[in-house]
Amino acid sequence: MKEEGDINNLNIQNNDLEENGLKRPLLENDNNDFGDSRASFFKRLFQHPPFQKFLYHFYFVFLSLIYLTISTFLPFLNKTIFTGGYDFPLTSSLFQTLGSSVVLLLFNLVQYRHNKNNIIPRSYFFDKNFVYKSLIMIPVSVCFGAVMILTNIGVDIAPVNYHVVFKSTNIIWIVLFSILINKEKPSLFEYISIATLMAGALMVGWVFATSNKASFVPIFINLLSSFFESFTVVLLKWSCSYLYRYDDTITVIEISLFKVVQGSFVIFIPMVIKERFHGFAALGDIPSKTIWLLVIGIFVTMVFQTAMVCLSKSFYSTTIGIIGQLQIIPQTLISIALYQSFVFTGLHIAGVSLVILGCVIFALFHFSKIYFQKKKEQAF
């Protein structure tokens, strides 16, 4: 048969080549061609503009979901820790930042070891620019430390549903900073959203002050936390832009590491003054469940801060503020379901409704503005 003859001839040729110390590379080349073609296919795929656009939007949605999910559940995690026998909000904050620092440092050292043989040196935490990067990150880290302190104290001394409403006022500061720093001119919808939110926050604050026999200190602390959180987002955007202009090899993990390490020093001072080291001594007396919640808080804080740096690197600070506003709806529903602190009075319900309405107006306006701006750019 012809096929058998062809196979025999092929075997004879291969035997002749092997006798002369050679091997026929037909099958090997075929495999290499297949591997090269597969690599070429993926290379062309990742360079294809529609696929790049899809990856960009997927990246944005994925980071936003992580940021939104963690910011929604983090107050409930901290509240569970404080009500579970560990009422040390500052020591808990220090545990979260110190633990995050250790994990992020390990990741950064792994990155350095992986990239140390590159022709172009890669940035890492302890490189020659350590002092310069530290100075750039100090303003962000101070504000971040203040946010951790005020947020945990605010959650500790006020019910979660009130804390959520007061923290939602950060869009007021975001708009104010956009005017002062970015020289933006707010639109009518932004003024309406701010007025609606402020009216709702005043109603809720009045209900809290009159029904809990408390001073306005919890309200002030929660509002101050909202201010520093907004300022942190703006400063982080500025720091990321400045650092990447100076050294484009710096990584998100490294920036996050500087933030939590320096933030730990900021938290340590008021912790020693207010709680001393009683929080460390109390670790042996609390339930194992609370210990595990503290450990979970470390990883949640690490992921949350890294996601915030990723978003700040890629998007406007206003966009991050918009994403954060969406948390008020699930947080309000969860707080009603878990706790019995929601006051079902007309004034309270109206105030919460106005706060949610103001946040929704603000978010929808900015999302629509971004959408129509992209449509306009595509038309040209």
pLDDT tens-place string over residues 353-374: 888 888 777 777 767 776 666 6
Does 260 fall in a domain?
yes
Residue 9 has what pLDDT?
Answer: 47
Does 108 fall in a domain?
yes
pLDDT band at 376 (very low <50, low <70, confident <90, very high): low
Task: Please state, as a whole number, how many other Cβ atoms lie within 10 Å of the Cβ of residue 310.
Answer: 21
Does 177 fall in a domain?
yes
Percent of the chain with pLDDT over 90: 19
Residues 6+ apart with CB under 8 A from 295: 99
Question: Into how many domains does the chain fold?
Answer: 1
pLDDT band at 220 (very low <50, low <70, confident <90, very high): confident
Does 116 fall in a domain?
yes
d(CA 141, CA 288): 31
pLDDT band at 28 (very low <50, low <70, confident <90, very high): very low
Which of 285, 261, 228, 259 lies closest to 88 in space, CA to CA?
285
d(CA 166, CA 124): 38
Residue 44 has what pLDDT?
Answer: 64
Residue 71 has what pLDDT?
Answer: 84
Give tens-digit pLDDT for 258-282. 999 999 999 999 999 999 899 998 9
For the segment 291-302, the average pLDDT, to the nearest whole number, is 92
Residue 49 has what pLDDT?
Answer: 67
Does 135 fall in a domain?
yes
Amino acid of residue 304:
F
Which of 171, 149, 185, 174 lies closest to 235 in space, CA to CA?
174
Asked if the model's pLDDT at residue 326 lies above 80, the reply is: no
Highest mean pLDDT among 95-99, 181-185, 304-308: 95-99
d(CA 175, CA 185): 9
- To which residue do tokens 């701010």 refer? 194
320, 308 in Cβ contact below 8 A?
Answer: yes
Does 67 fall in a domain?
no
For the segment 327-354, the average pLDDT, to the nearest whole number, is 78
Does 289 fall in a domain?
yes
Of 131 and 27, more confident: 131
Residue 128 has what pLDDT?
Answer: 82
For the segment 216-240, the average pLDDT, to the nearest whole number, is 86
Asked if the model's pLDDT at residue 12 lies above 70, the reply is: no
Angle between the N-to-C axes of helices 130-157 and 49-83, in degrees from 0 to 180, rounded to the nearest 10:
50
For the segment 178-190, the average pLDDT, to the nearest whole number, is 70
Of 156-165, 170-179, 267-276, least confident by mean pLDDT is 170-179
Residues 6+ apart with CB under 8 A from 313: 240, 244, 252, 255
What would the 3-class secondary structure string for 250-296 be? CCHHHHHHHHHHHHHHHHHHHHHHHCCCHHHHHHHHCCHHHHHHHHH
Structural domain boundaries, residue 271: 88-379
Does 247 fall in a domain?
yes
Residue 377 has what pLDDT?
Answer: 62
